[in-house]
Amino acid sequence: MDIFDRGGEIEITGISDFDPVRVFECGQCFRWEADNGGVYTGVAFDHAARVRKDADSGSVFIAGTISDFEAVWRGYFDLDRDYSEIREQLCIDDFMRRATRFGAGIRILRQDKWEALCSFIISQRNNIPRIKQIVSALCRELGDAFEFCGETFYTFPSADRLASLDEESLAPIRCGYRASYILHAARTVTSGELDLEALAFGPSEVARATLKKLHGVGDKVADCAVLFGLHMLDSFPLDVWMNRAVAENYGPGFDPGIFSPYAGIAQQYIFYYTRSGAASIS
């Protein structure tokens, strides 16, 4: 991988596993949107960026300065991990060969821990367009505005900011019964009872069990927060799509440990492949 400053954009060359469509449309994040030209714009860690891939050269371009790239985007996109090597390791059978080939270009983002936890609390019993609407409203109503490329964007509100609110204050974002769950999580983080930074350095089993103590956090939300927020790559979230894929391809008694230590990356390939409908016609 090589990095070049192109004056307003950072060009990344020599990286085969970075497809913005697959990164942003695989269900792991909710603050990136594509324009008609396939350029994605989003916000992470209080910074905005535009991301595009050149079809001819294969280069990926991220708008911004080299200092922003090194401070935010290099880590956020997990650019120092070799996903092509991981894909080869995960090709343990015909199904995974197809899934990894179809999902080549997915990378597990290193998201803000609080934002990921809060977003996946919002995600329960919700579809992706609706999740995006709620997260966008939350940021617009309670985040801080900032300018990027002549447009206004909003930061994700901190746990401290949300902890002092009541459910009525969250009414404008229309998150329904999830409001109480969001506020409880925010207060638990703000009080120090839940230390997400410390949790990321322990075993994933402990992180999962700890997160499940929060009101409204069950297996799936906890597993998603562990994988996408704490970046523990052995977490294997299960939903309707994943349960169906596991049942059809591995049967009873399935153990995600067969994909160790990258069960979470395997999960994303399987989820993206199955949800796309491609698995049913392969």
pLDDT at 225: 98
Domain spans of the chain, in order of start: 2-80, 113-229
pLDDT digits (tens, 9 = 90+) for 20-52: 999 999 999 999 999 988 999 999 999 999 999
Q: What is the CATH number of domain 2-80?
A: 3.30.310.260
Show Cβ contacts of residue 177 under 8 Å, excluding neighbours closer than 6 positions: none
Q: With DSSP H G I counted as helix, E B as strand and the rest as coil, what are the percentages for the chain, rounded to 5?
A: 50, 15, 40
113-123 vs 128-142: helix crossing angle, rounded to 10? 130
Q: How many CB atoms lie within 10 A of CB 13?
A: 13
For residue 127, pLDDT over 80 is answered with yes
Please say whether the structural domain 113-229 has been given the CATH code 1.10.340.30. yes
pLDDT at 183: 98
pLDDT digits (tens, 9 = 90+) for 157-209: 999 999 999 999 999 999 999 999 999 999 999 999 999 999 999 999 999 99
Q: Are 125 and 218 in contact (CB under 8 A)?
A: no
Mean pLDDT, range 239-267, rounded to an integer: 94
* Position 277 confidence tier, pLDDT thresholds 50, 70, 90: confident
Maximal CA-CA distance, the chain: 54
pLDDT at 238: 93
Q: Tell me the pairing of strands 145-148 and 60-63.
A: unpaired
Q: Which of 53, 113, 212, 220 is catalytic?
A: 220
- Give yes or no: 53 in active site: no
